[in-house]
Amino acid sequence: MFLVDLLFPKFCAGCGKVGTYLCNKCLWDIQQTDLVCPQCERLSVGGLTHPLCKRRYGLDGLWSLGIYQDPLRKIIQKLKYKFVKDVGETLISLTLKYWVKFTPQLLEELKKDQGEGWVVIPVPLHPKRQRFRGFNQSAQLGKLLAQKIGLDYQEVLKRIKYTKPQVGLKGKERRENLKNAFEIDPSPSLPDQDDKLCSKNYTQLVNCLLIDDVWTTGSTIKECCYVLKKAGAQKVWAITLAR
Ligand SMILES: [Zn+2]
Ligand SMILES: [Zn+2]
């Protein structure tokens, strides 16, 4: 054991076991979720929006890694307050592994376009909340995803309204709460210049992989999708760790 491990022991984000950030048992216990249409949430091959459920400014598909239950729930909650890159990377790798297995449609599209015109975009936090937390976990996940599949990463969306937490609000209240909460950032700061991820500008904003940690009712992601499509995005897929 290294001295650093004695001073700063690692704990599994799922079960608290010492010596690792994510133990194999927890990794195995993550249950892959069925893929559903983001509009009606009924089963759908590859998470594609059913043709009849398509809306002009709506999502084209939804891809989630696992069911929002322990250990995945615990892991996600921990990551919110302390983002451990190792854990993020493991989860993104797992996502891609399942992705290859269950969502050839989206992958085929990405391959067909050779990633050209596709960007990874995180669901933003309000600046106040981000200052409090120190980072946005969806952004961290988005950067890892973009790196792994070789796409551009852009922080295109800005949260301009400090919204109440969505928990406890009903469908209509959720939508009301989120109305005008997001806008396209006219002058994005390049987050990590050394990442070389932010090379393109918005005129090439065509197809988006919108990433967030959890899909609960989808109202936040749907609102972001609406803003992106209003700004000219063609296809928008939602990618979340849990649903
Ligand atoms: Zn564990
Ligand atoms: Zn549907």
pLDDT digits (tens, 9 = 90+) for 16-40: 999 999 999 999 999 999 999 999 9
pLDDT, residue 196, reads 44
Whether 214 contacts 68, CB under 8 Å: yes
Cα–ligand 2 centroid distance for 49 (angstroms): 6
* C-alpha 18 chain-centroid distance: 28
Residue type present at position 79: L
Whether 147 contacts 195, CB under 8 Å: yes
Q: Which residue has the higher pLDDT, 177 or 146?
A: 146
Whether 206 contacts 192, CB under 8 Å: no
Residue 21: CA atoms inside 13 Å, Cβ hemisphere, count? 14
User: Residue range 201-213: average pLDDT?
Assistant: 79
Cα–ligand 1 centroid distance for 29 (angstroms): 9
* C-alpha 162 chain-centroid distance: 20
Give the ligand whose atoms come closest to the C-alpha of residue 90: 1
Cα–ligand 1 centroid distance for 4 (angstroms): 21
Complete edge-to-edge strand list for the sheet that includes strand 235-242: 61-66, 235-242, 207-214, 118-122, 152-153
Query: Domain spans of the chain?
Result: 3-242
- CA neighbor of 155 nearest in space, from 180, 177, 130: 130
User: Residue range 117-132: average pLDDT?
Assistant: 93
Whether 63 contacts 35, CB under 8 Å: yes
Give the ligand whose atoms come closest to the C-alpha of residue 71: 1
Cα–ligand 2 centroid distance for 156 (angstroms): 27
User: Residue range 122-151: average pLDDT?
Assistant: 93
Residue 94: CA atoms inside 13 Å, Cβ hemisphere, count? 24
Cα–ligand 1 centroid distance for 31 (angstroms): 14
pLDDT, residue 193, reads 45
Q: Please tell me the pTM assigned to this model.
A: 0.88
Give the ligand whose atoms come closest to the C-alpha of residue 61: 2
Per-residue pLDDT tens over the stretch 180-206: 899 998 766 555 444 444 444 454 568
Give the ligand whose atoms come closest to the C-alpha of residue 30: 1
Cα–ligand 1 centroid distance for 93 (angstroms): 17
pLDDT, residue 205, reads 67
Cα–ligand 2 centroid distance for 57 (angstroms): 15
